[in-house]
Amino acid sequence: MRIVLLGAPGSGKGTQSQRLVQRFGIPQISTGDLLRSAVARGTPLGMKAKDVMAAGKLVDDATVLGMIEERLAEPDVAKGFILDGFPRTIAQAEGLDRMLGQIGKPLTAVVQMEVPNAELVRRIAGRRSCQNCGRVYNIYSMPVGAAVVCPSCPDNPPLYQRPDDNEATVIERLKVYEAQTRPLVGFYGKRGLLQTIDATGEVDAITELLIGVLNSPVAAQARQVARAVPARKSAAKPKPKPKPKVKVKAKARAKARTSSRAKTQTKAKARARPKVKAKAKAKKSAPRRKVVRRAAAKKKKQAPRRKK
Element (H, E) at 4: strand 2-7
Active site residues: 13, 88, 127, 162, 173
Nearer to ligand AP5, 36 or 223 (CB): 36
Residues numbered 145-184 forming contacts with ligand AP5, rule: CB under 6 A: 164, 173
Residue 95 in contact with ligand AP5, rule: CB under 6 A? no
Is 52 near ligand AP5 (CB under 6 A)? yes
Stretch that binds ligand AP5, among 9-17, 94-102, 233-241, 254-262 (CB under 6 A): 9-17
Closer to ligand AP5 at the Cβ: 108 or 207?
207
Q: What is the rounded distance in angstroms from the CA atom of residue 108 to the CA atom of residue 2?
A: 5
From 58-66, 208-216, 223-231, 240-248, span contacting ligand AP5 (CB under 6 A)? 58-66
CA distance 173 to 291: 104
Which x/- pattern, by CB under 6 A, does the window 204-243 give for ligand AP5? --x-------------------------------------
Q: How far apart are CA 256 and CA 268, in angstroms?
A: 18
Q: Which helix (H) or strand (E) holds 136?
A: strand 136-138
Q: Which of 50, 71, 105, 123 binds ligand AP5 (CB under 6 A)?
A: 123
Q: Under the phi-then-psi rule, with left for phi > 0, alpha for psi from -120 to 50, and beta for the rest, what region is 57?
A: beta
**Residue of 6, 12, 111, 112 that binds ligand AP5 (CB under 6 A):** 12
The torsion of the CA quartet 8, 181, 21, 229, rounded to 10 degrees, works out to 150
Question: CB of residue 5 vs ligand AP5: minimum separation in angstroms?
Answer: 8
DSSP letter assigned to residue 111: E
H helices present in the chain, as ranges: 13-24, 31-41, 44-54, 61-72, 90-102, 117-126, 167-176, 183-190, 203-214, 217-227, 245-302
Rounded Cα–Cα distance for residues 2 and 188 (Å) = 14
Number of C-beta neighbours around residue 58 at 10 A: 21
Could you tell me which stretch among 80-88, 95-103, 148-156, 222-230 binds ligand AP5 (CB under 6 A)?
80-88
Stretch that binds ligand AP5, among 11-19, 263-271, 278-286, 287-295 (CB under 6 A): 11-19
Q: Which of 45, 27, 44 is nearest to 35 (CA)?
A: 45
Question: In whole angstroms, what is the distance from residue 98 CA to residue 116 CA?
Answer: 33
Please report how close the Cβ of residue 207 comes to ligand AP5 at its closest, in angstroms: 9
Using CB under 6 A, which of the segments 12-20, 183-191, 227-235, 295-303 binds ligand AP5?
Answer: 12-20
Residue 40 within binding range of ligand AP5, rule CB under 6 A: no
Binding ligand AP5 (rule: CB under 6 A), the pick from 137, 187, 195, 207 is 137
Q: Smallest gap, in angstroms, from Cβ of residue 13 to ligand AP5?
A: 4
To ligand AP5, the closest distance from the beta carbon of 102 in angstroms equals 20
Please, what's the largest Cα pairwise distance for the chain? 150
Name the closest residue to ligand AP5 (Cβ). 32
**CA angle (150, 151, 153) in 5-degree steps:** 70
Which parts of this chain interact with ligand AP5 (CB under 6 A)? 7, 9-15, 31-32, 35, 52-53, 56-59, 64, 85-86, 88, 92, 123-124, 126-127, 136-138, 164, 173, 203, 206
